[in-house]
Amino acid sequence: MKSSMKTLVLVATIAASLSACADMTPAQRNTAAGVVVGGVAGNLLGKDTGATLGGAALGGVIGSQIK
């Protein structure tokens, strides 16, 4: 029972997150992609919350400048 509930919540979360990106401008998509990539890189390099947040912020700034 718990496994099927977790699967249902996971599928609902993925569906909601994908539908939220449907009407984004290219600049918004680039910013979101930069935040994700920067956050992952910050976490891998720094292995703490501050590094993750710093990487996400820097990635968002860089992603927003890509045309």
What pLDDT score was predicted for residue 34? 92
Q: Using alpha carbons, select from 45, 50, 44, 40 the residue that is nearest to residue 60.
A: 40
Tokens of 26: 């290219």
| Per-residue pLDDT in tens (0 to 9) along the chain, 67 residues | 677 788 888 888 777 777 777 788 989 989 988 998 999 999 999 989 999 999 999 999 999 998 7
Q: Using alpha carbons, select from 33, 55, 59 the residue that is nearest to residue 43.
A: 55
DSSP 1: -
